[in-house]
């Protein structure tokens, strides 16, 4: 049933929401969805300043605030009921505390309802990007699933590319699913530029999908990637890849001229801990990069189970020669290198 066309002013009371100590907390999407009385998708106007607001108390101090308003036209309701047209008024402190108002454009908004008054469910995350595209499936009764599908839509075909990056920055809050993986793959095919394609490839790798690893490895070896793309892909390879199925695509990276690429490959081999790679790891003990030598010792310790010889970073920085020499002798005794 479509919402009624009504114009209301909704005061979003953020002053009553408990403050966190330092920094902005991570988004807990399940909590936000479950705690919301109303979740809608709609188009926001650019907020305009109404004037000074009531003081906000924080740690015994009184913070000045300002009141803003923005128009919202609801296009879809995911949870609860609300009018089709709203004027949202919200209060923000002049001192930045991590709170923010809704962003202009097509957004997904999370609200708590108290009688005729609404407030943000989470003042740190009052809204998320949304799209004008339906996912083509039957309506979803479960609000969390509907929200996750909408975020997958944003990754695949956003209204604006910055919306896609905004969602990817919160990937920790979005569980891996077949639907999400398929959306990321479709997004790679339709990516508007190489940077976006590489960012989505990194997202796949971080979620354990290796289908793009060959192309990524070729790009890294060829040295054709931008600094930003190289950074995000090396992070995914070095920190997220754990499957032995990735071994054949990781090993060529050990021959790269770029020491950062070799470092990420050695770190990946440590996490994979595939005994078949011991002979490939042994030469890394002589690498010119200290980090490559470090991850070589950690990888060999993981493969053999001899964790006493898998040093921490501070220990390796102080006594790296001792560990490298231990594994050199081990490699000789096991036929992986000559004296």
Q: Can you name the residues that pair with 67 across neighbouring β-strands?
A: 51, 91
CA distances for 238 relative to 89, 102, 158, 257, angstroms: 46, 36, 29, 17
Q: Average per-residue pLDDT in the chain?
A: 88
Residue 313 has pLDDT above 70, yes or no: yes
Report pTM: 0.84
51 contacts 68 by C-beta, under 8 angstroms: no
Over the stretch 136-147, which tens digit does the pLDDT of each residue have? Answer: 555 677 999 999
Q: Which residue has the higher pLDDT, 6 or 146?
A: 146
Estimate to the nearest angstrom the gap between the alpha carbon of 281 and the chain centroid. Answer: 31
Question: What does the pLDDT average to over 142-168?
Answer: 92
Question: What does the pLDDT average to over 20-43?
Answer: 86
284 contacts 251 by C-beta, under 8 angstroms: no
Q: What pLDDT was estimated at residue 339?
A: 67
Alpha carbons 243 and 237: distance in angstroms, whole number: 11
Which residue bears the tokens 């000789």?
Answer: 332
Over the stretch 44-78, which tens digit does the pLDDT of each residue have? Answer: 888 889 899 888 877 778 889 999 888 889 999 99
Q: How far apart are the first and last CA of the chain?
A: 79
Tokens of 15: 């002053």
213 contacts 205 by C-beta, under 8 angstroms: yes
Residue 330 has pLDDT above 50, yes or no: yes
| Helices 290-304/313-333 angle, 10° precision | 60
Alpha carbons 109 and 206: distance in angstroms, whole number: 28
Alpha carbons 102 and 187: distance in angstroms, whole number: 26
Q: Residues 6 or more apart from 281 whose CB is under 8 A from it? A: 266, 269, 296, 299, 300, 303
166 contacts 105 by C-beta, under 8 angstroms: no
Residue 83 has pLDDT above 90, yes or no: no
Tokens of 109: 């908004």
69 contacts 88 by C-beta, under 8 angstroms: yes
What stretches of the chain show up as alpha helix (H) in DSSP? 29-35, 143-156, 161-168, 178-189, 194-206, 213-222, 227-240, 247-250, 259-272, 278-281, 290-304, 313-333
Residue 220 has pLDDT above 50, yes or no: yes
Residue 9 has pLDDT above 70, yes or no: no
Q: Residues 6 or more apart from 19 whose CB is under 8 A from it? A: 58, 59, 97
Give the residue among 116, 101, 3 at the shortest CA–CA distance from 44: 101
Q: Is the dihedral of CA 197, 203, 206, 209 positive or negative?
A: negative
Q: Tell me the Ramachandran region of residue 115: left when phi exceeds 0, alpha when psi lies from -120 to 50, beta otherwise.
A: left
Residue 338 has pLDDT above 80, yes or no: no
Question: What does the pLDDT average to over 298-309?
Answer: 97
Question: What percent of the chain is predicted at pLDDT more than 70?
Answer: 91
Give the residue among 70, 27, 18, 75 at the shortest CA–CA distance from 49: 70
Alpha carbons 286 and 324: distance in angstroms, whole number: 8
């Amino acid at each position: 049933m479509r919402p009624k066309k009504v114009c209301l002013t909704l005061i979003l009371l953020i002053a009553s929401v408990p403050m966190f100590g330092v920094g902005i907390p991570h988004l807990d999407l399940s909590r936000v969805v479950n705690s919301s009385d109303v979740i809608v998708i709609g188009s926001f106007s650019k907020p305009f300043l109404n004037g000074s607001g009531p003081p906000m108390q924080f740690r015994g101090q009184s913070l000045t605030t300002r009141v803003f308003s923005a128009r919202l036209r609801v296009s879809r309701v995911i949870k609860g009921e609300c009018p089709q047209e709203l004027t949202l008024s919200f209060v923000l402190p002049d001192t930045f505390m991590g709170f923010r108002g809704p962003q202009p454009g097509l957004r997904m908004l999370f609200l708590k309802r108290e009688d005729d008054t609404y407030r943000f469910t989470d003042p740190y995350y009052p809204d998320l990007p949304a799209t004008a595209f339906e996912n083509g499936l039957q309506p979803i009764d479960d609000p969390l699933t509907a929200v996750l599908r909408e975020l997958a839509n944003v990754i695949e075909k956003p209204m604006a590319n910055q919306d896609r990056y905004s969602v990817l920055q919160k990937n920790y809050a979005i569980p891996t699913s077949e639907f999400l993986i398929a959306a990321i793959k479709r997004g790679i095919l339709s990516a508007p530029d190489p940077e976006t394609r590489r960012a989505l490839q990194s997202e796949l790798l971080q979620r354990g999908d290796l289908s793009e690893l060959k192309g990524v490895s070729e790009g890294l070896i060829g040295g054709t990637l931008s600094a930003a793309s190289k950074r995000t892909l090396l992070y995914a390879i070095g920190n997220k890849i754990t499957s032995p199925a990735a071994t054949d695509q990781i090993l060529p990276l050990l021959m790269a001229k770029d020491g950062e690429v070799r470092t990420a490959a050695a770190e990946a081999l440590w996490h994979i801990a595939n005994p078949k790679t011991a002979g490939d790891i042994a030469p890394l003990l002589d690498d010119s990069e200290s980090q490559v030598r470090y991850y070589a010792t950690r990888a060999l310790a993981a493969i053999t189970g001899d964790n006493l010889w898998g040093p921490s970073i501070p220990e390796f920085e102080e006594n790296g020669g001792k560990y490298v020499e231990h594994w050199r002798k081990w490699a000789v005794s096991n036929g992986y290198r000559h004296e």
